């Protein structure tokens, strides 16, 4: 185990999250089941009071888990100097590759779920009758399960990464000619795939921005349209990742043959901001869809359009900011 302030913080947050996720998950599931049954005013009041206590505590836990995603990478970055052969986060991920890959996959999903739940919670709190209470409780119990797995994973990883590990780093994996991120575009565009790939990415990004803009202007908040936007944003995110690895990261790092995103964050630190903006923009498109999916009930339906408008403005703004940052980087280069 590598002991530093960050790893201790990760373990502390992890342990706290495990305990509260178990308590919060079970409590919300029990409350969900009780909420269904008709009850007298006193029992109802007690049920509401318990629910608000669970929400109050779990909101804090969920906010901490939101911060946990960037903190996870900052902690891995802090381990680089202690692991022989690691020159970026990739090297650290090679100490426990399976577990690290699982956590890297889980964390953005949890971030998305938590964000969506917090928006639903906010929407519900703006009403007088709390029509989303049952859905919130059910979703909270599901999210608690994810949080539990993620937190246990964090603890195991922090304990499992040992300083004497010898690993090989990104160069031997991300720069080889038969890497999947190269062979896929080569099979579609041919050996000179760089320019077509980046053009395709710019087109999809601009089209996505156009769709969001049109949605905001004409207020088309139909579920099918929002679902399509969500799927399109996932496609755009896939293209973003592919073009970052193959085209933009090497250009921004001034290392034309190096395709490691962890190195990009290390050598060009403001690219972290770019990735942050892009993630928030893409997640916001998804949050718009999930808010409509789960929030269209009773009194909440009235305030839903204004929420959706705000969420899509958020998406438009962050996706635009990511695009502006990327273009500036490419122009300055």
Partner 1 sequence: MALFVILVVISSALGCQGERKSMEGRCDDDGVKIEPLYAVYFTLRDGTEKKFCSIACASLSFSELRGRIKEVIVVDERSGIKIHAVQALYVESEVVTVPHVKNRIHVFGSREDAIKHLDRFSGKWVDNPFQ
Q: Does 176 bind partner 1 (CB under 8 A)?
A: yes
- Report the distance separating Cα 213 and Cα 219, nearest Å: 10
Q: Which is nearer to partner 1, 189 or 267 (CB)?
A: 267
Q: Which stretch binds partner 1 (CB under 8 A): 44-52, 163-171, 214-222, 241-249?
A: 163-171
Q: Is 239 in the site for partner 1 (CB under 8 A)?
A: no
> C-beta of 320: minimal distance to partner 1 in Å?
8
Q: Is there a contact between 294 and 122 (Cβ–Cβ < 8 Å)?
A: no
Q: Under the criterion CB under 8 A, does residue 21 sit at the interface with partner 1?
A: no
Query: For partner 1, which is the closer residue by CB, 27 or 94?
Result: 94
Tell me which residues in 37-96 interact with partner 1 (CB under 8 A).
Answer: 84-87, 91
At 84 the three-state DSSP class reads strand
Assess 97 for contact with partner 1 (CB under 8 A): no
Query: How many CB atoms lie under 10 A from the CB of residue 327?
Result: 11
Q: What share of the chain is helix, strand, coil (3-state, %, to 5)?
A: 80, 0, 20
In the range 251-290, which residues lie near partner 1 by CB under 8 A?
252-258, 260, 263, 267-271, 273, 277
Q: Where are the alpha helices (DSSP H) in 244-332?
A: 249-253, 261-267, 271-295, 300-332
Output 178 or 224, the one with its CB closest to partner 1. Answer: 178
Q: Which two tokens stand for residue 10?
A: 């990760």
Sole binder of partner 1 in the list 137, 143, 169, 311 (CB under 8 A): 169
186 binding partner 1? (CB under 8 A): no
Residues 6+ apart with CB under 8 A from 228: none
Taking the C-alpha atoms of residue 77 and residue 70, their distance in angstroms, rounded to an integer, is 11
Nearer to partner 1, 54 or 95 (CB): 95
How many residues contact partner 1, by CB under 8 A?
A: 38
Residue 136 or 205: the one with the smaller Cβ distance to partner 1 is 205
Distance (Å, whole) CA 310 – CA 301: 15
Query: How would DSSP label each residue in 143-212?
Result: HHHHHHHHHHHHHHHHHH--TT-B---THHHHSSTT-HHHHHHHHHH-S--HHHHHHHHHHHHHHHHHHH
CA distances from 309 to 115, 284, 293 (A): 16, 11, 15
Check binding of 162 to partner 1 (CB under 8 A). no
Q: Please, which residues have CB within 8 angstroms of residue 82's CB and are 6 or more apart in sequence?
A: 2, 163
Residue 12 vs 313, nearer CB to partner 1 = 313
Of the pair 27, 271, the CB lying nearest partner 1 is at 271
Shortest gap between Cβ of 95 and partner 1 (angstroms)?
A: 13
Question: What is the closest distance, in whole angstroms, from the C-beta atom of residue 166 to partner 1 in the complex?
Answer: 7
Return phi, psi of residue 84, to 5°.
Answer: -70, 125
Query: Which residue of 60, 109, 166, 188 would you call a contact of partner 1, by CB under 8 A?
Result: 166
* Distance between CA atoms of residues 62 and 65, nearest Å: 5
Our finding on whether 314 is near partner 1 (CB under 8 A) is: no
Work out how close the CB of 305 gets to partner 1 at its nearest, in angstroms, rounded to a whole number: 21
Give yes or no for residue 183 binding partner 1 (CB under 8 A).
Answer: no
Check binding of 190 to partner 1 (CB under 8 A). Answer: no
CA torsion, ordered 15, 18, 20, 26, to nearest 10 deg: -160
What does the binding site for partner 1 look like in residue numbers (CB under 8 A)? 84-87, 91, 166, 168-172, 175-177, 252-258, 260, 263, 267-271, 273, 277, 317, 321, 324-325, 328-329, 332-333
């Amino acid at each position: 185990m590598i002991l530093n302030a960050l790893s201790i913080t990760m373990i502390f947050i992890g342990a706290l999250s495990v305990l509260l996720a178990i308590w919060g998950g079970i409590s919300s599931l029990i409350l969900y089941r009780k909420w269904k049954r008709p009850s007298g005013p006193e029992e109802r009041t007690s049920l509401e009071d318990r629910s608000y206590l669970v929400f109050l505590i779990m909101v804090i836990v969920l906010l901490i888990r939101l911060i946990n995603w960037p903190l996870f990478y900052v902690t891995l970055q802090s381990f680089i100097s202690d692991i022989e052969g690691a020159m970026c986060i990739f090297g650290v991920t090679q100490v426990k590759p399976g577990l690290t890959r699982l956590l890297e996959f889980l964390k953005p999903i949890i971030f998305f779920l938590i964000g969506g739940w917090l928006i639903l919670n906010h929407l519900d709190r703006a009403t007088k009758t709390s029509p989303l209470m049952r859905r919130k409780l059910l979703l909270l119990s599901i999210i608690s399960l994810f949080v539990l797995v993620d937190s246990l994973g964090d603890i195991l990883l922090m304990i499992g990464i040992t300083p004497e590990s010898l690993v090989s780093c990104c160069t031997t994996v991300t720069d080889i000619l038969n890497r999947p991120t190269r062979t896929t575009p080569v099979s579609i565009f041919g050996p000179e795939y760089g320019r077509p790939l980046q053009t395709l990415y710019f087109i999809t990004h601009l089209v996505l921005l156009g769709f969001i803009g049109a949605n905001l202007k004409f207020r088309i908040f139909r579920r099918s349209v929002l679902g399509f936007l969500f799927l399109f944003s996932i496609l755009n995110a896939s293209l973003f990742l592919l073009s970052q690895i193959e085209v933009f990261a090497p250009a921004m790092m001034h290392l034309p043959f190096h395709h490691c995103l962890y190195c990009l964050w290390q050598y060009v630190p403001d690219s972290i901001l770019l990735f942050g903006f892009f993630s928030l923009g893409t997640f916001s498109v998804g949050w718009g869809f999930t808010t409509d999916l789960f929030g269209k009930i009773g009194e909440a339906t009235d305030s839903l359009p204004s929420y959706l408008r705000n969420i899509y403005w958020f998406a438009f703004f962050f996706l635009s900011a990511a695009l502006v940052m990327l273009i500036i980087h490419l122009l300055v280069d």
